[in-house]
């Protein structure tokens, strides 16, 4: 039985931890990366197949898809972790340059969070369906997909598009392929986050803790192990949406 799992954007933080955890759990992980990160050495040492890929580049996507189809006859899962985070362009005027800058941010967010998963899901459907047993697609979205963001509207909109794709692909690929999403809020601080930021961020959720990367990998494995969950968005947010004033 094939146990190949693709994880996009797995060279650092949550993606890195998830790739290593799944490799240790007995899967053969294929991790993509856009730029060189220290975590790549960990992945390679663990036996993970690492492939450089900018998911926003259609030519690179085509090459990656061809390589995977040449090397593998089936896939156990496809996990979309590749992400980018850009602030909306400043509100200045309606000049051509200002509109172009605004459009560039929006298009960049859609390209990485919605267009690439859409294209990869469709391209790899035959390999997912060829798996001996139920296979999985997992979209990693964001808490803001359901509540919006005042400073990252384009980012939030692109994650909302990815959540909508979860429902569409779940309907299209059932019963052979389960399709779900995980929508995290705070899981893991960055090293440069100062004490005041950390204190304020922790207060946003009911559980007021930094759960760590294991929370994501545990949820991914929960979905992989389930035989009866599809078309769902799991809110991995410590009860943040219930933490009302």
**pLDDT tens string 27-82:** 999 999 999 999 999 999 999 999 999 999 999 999 999 999 999 999 999 999 99
Give the integer Cα–Cα distance in Å for 146 and 53: 29
Q: Report CA 197 to chain centroid distance, whole Å.
A: 24
Least confident of 85-94, 168-177, 183-192, 204-213: 85-94
Q: What is the pLDDT of residue 245?
A: 66
Which SS3 state, helix, strand or coil, does residue 6 take?
Answer: strand
What backbone torsions phi and psi does residue 48 show, to the nearest 5 degrees?
Answer: -75, 135
Distances (CA, A) of 36 to 39, 41, 128, 188: 9, 10, 29, 21
Told to judge if 155 belongs to the known catalytic residues of this protein, a careful annotator would answer yes
Reply yes or no on whether the pLDDT at 94 is more than 80.
no
Reply yes or no on whether the pLDDT at 2 is more than 80.
no
Edge-to-edge order in the sheet of strand 77-80: 49-52, 28-33, 4-7, 77-80, 135-140, 177-184, 233-236
User: Which among 155, 167, 197, 228 is annotated as catalytic?
Assistant: 155
182: exposed, middle or buried (C-beta count within 10 Å: 0-12, 13-18, 19+)? buried
The domain segmentation of the chain, as residue ranges, is: 4-242
Tens of pLDDT, residue by residue over 95-147, are 888 888 899 999 999 999 999 999 999 999 999 999 999 999 999 999 999 99
Tens of pLDDT, residue by residue over 197-234, are 899 888 888 999 888 889 999 999 999 999 999 999 99
Pick the CATH number of 4-242 from 3.40.50.720, 3.50.50.60, 3.40.50.10490, 3.40.50.300: 3.40.50.720
Give the integer Cα–Cα distance in Å for 4 and 28: 5
Specify the pairing of strand 49-52 against strand 177-184: unpaired
């Amino acid at each position: 039985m094939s146990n190949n799992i693709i994880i996009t954007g797995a060279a650092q933080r949550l993606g890195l931890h998830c790739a290593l955890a799944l490799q240790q759990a007995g899967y053969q992980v294929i991790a993509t990366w856009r730029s060189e990160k220290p975590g790549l050495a960990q992945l390679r040492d663990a036996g993970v197949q690492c492939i450089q890929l900018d998911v926003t580049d259609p030519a690179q996507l085509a090459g990656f898809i061809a390589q995977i189809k040449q090397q593998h006859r089936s896939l156990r899962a496809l996990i979309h972790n590749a992400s980018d985070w850009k602030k909306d362009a400043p509100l200045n005027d309606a000049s051509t340059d200002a509109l172009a800058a605004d459009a560039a941010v929006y298009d960049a967010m859609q390209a990485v969070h919605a267009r690439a998963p859409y294209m990869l899901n469709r391209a790899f459907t035959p390999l997912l369906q060829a798996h001996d047993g139920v296979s999985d697609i997992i979209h990693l979205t964001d808490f803001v997909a359901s509540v919006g963001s005042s400073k990252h509207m384009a980012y939030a909109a692109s994650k909302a598009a990815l959540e909508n794709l979860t429902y569409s692909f779940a309907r299209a690929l059932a019963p052979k392929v389960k399709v779900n999403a995980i929508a995290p809020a705070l899981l893991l601080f960055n090293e440069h986050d100062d004490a005041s930021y950390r204190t304020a961020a922790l207060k946003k959720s009911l559980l007021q803790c930094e759960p760590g990367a294991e929370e994501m990998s545990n949820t991914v494995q929960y979905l992989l192990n389930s035989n009866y969950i599809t078309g769902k968005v799991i809110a991995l947010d410590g009860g943040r949406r219930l933490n009302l004033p």
